């Protein structure tokens, strides 16, 4: 079987760099495979598209353009916020902070600069605007169960009632 566009449960190992550079940005080699269900938006679009048709045991190098990875940089996403919003935080340039967005989602920001009045933060993903190169291996591939396809969670999510969903 091969990875399908939707409802394949795929396990991958990968090493992430920028094209032409040797510095590894992220990797799960030597660890547990990253498992996800295709067609659910759980992986950057360009990498997921490249996996379609691959079989378990297959490896390849994929260059994903920024537009199909974390998007292009949006300079309007760099904002200066009042210093009071960062009370109790030992601020450092380049540090990553996590907060909550308007809809309860987790937001990641990078501290660009600060003074006694304000803190300049960048809401762009740290890899926004960058092409990415993945050395990827499909470790496993199978059809999603009906429950996995419905919930988008590998293993079905609520099996055994321990996921906190009230079962």
Q: Per residue in 56-90, pLDDT tens?
A: 999 999 999 999 999 999 999 999 999 999 999 99
- For position 156, what pLDDT does the model report? 52
Q: Which residue has the tokens 């396990």?
A: 11
Asked if residue 60 and residue 37 are part of one domain, the reply reads yes
Same domain, 65 and 87: no
What percent of the chain is predicted at pLDDT more than 70? 93
- Phi-psi map region of 148: left, alpha, beta (phi>0 left; psi -120 to 50 alpha): alpha
Residue 161: pLDDT band (50, 70, 90) is: very low
Let me know whether 66 and 132 are in one domain. Answer: yes
- Identify the pLDDT of residue 167: 36
| Whether residue 20 is found in the same domain as residue 64 | yes
Kindly tell me if the per-residue pLDDT of 130 is higher than 80: yes
Asked if the structure places residue 81 within a domain, the reply is: yes
Q: Is the pLDDT of residue 165 over 70?
A: no
HSE-up of 83 (CA within 13 Å, CB side)?
8
Contacts of 71 by beta carbon, 8 Å cutoff, 6+ apart: 125, 128, 129
Any idea what DSSP says for residue 150?
Answer: H
Structure tokens of 58? Answer: 């297959």
Instruction: Find the domain containing 92 and state its range.
Output: 75-122
pLDDT of 162: 39
Quick one: 103 and 134 in the same domain? no
């Amino acid at each position: 079987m091969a990875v399908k566009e939707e409802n394949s449960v795929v396990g991958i190992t990968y090493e992430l760099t920028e094209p032409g550079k040797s510095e590894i940005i992220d990797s799960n080699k030597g660890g547990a495979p990253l498992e996800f269900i295709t067609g659910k938006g759980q992986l950057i679009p360009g990498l997921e598209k490249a996996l379609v048709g691959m079989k378990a045991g297959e490896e390849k190098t994929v260059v994903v353009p920024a537009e199909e990875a974390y998007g292009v940089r949006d300079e309007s996403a760099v904002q200066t916020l009042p210093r009071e919003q960062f009370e109790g935080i030992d601020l450092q340039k380049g540090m990553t902070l996590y907060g909550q967005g308007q809809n309860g989602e987790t937001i990641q920001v990078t501290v660009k600069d600060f003074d006694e009045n304000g803190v300049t933060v960048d809401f762009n993903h740290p890899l926004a605007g960058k092409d990415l190169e993945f050395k990827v291996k499909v470790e496993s591939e199978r059809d999603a169960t009906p429950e996995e396809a419905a919930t988008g969670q590998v293993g079905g999510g609520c099996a055994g009632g321990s996921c906190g969903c009230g079962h």
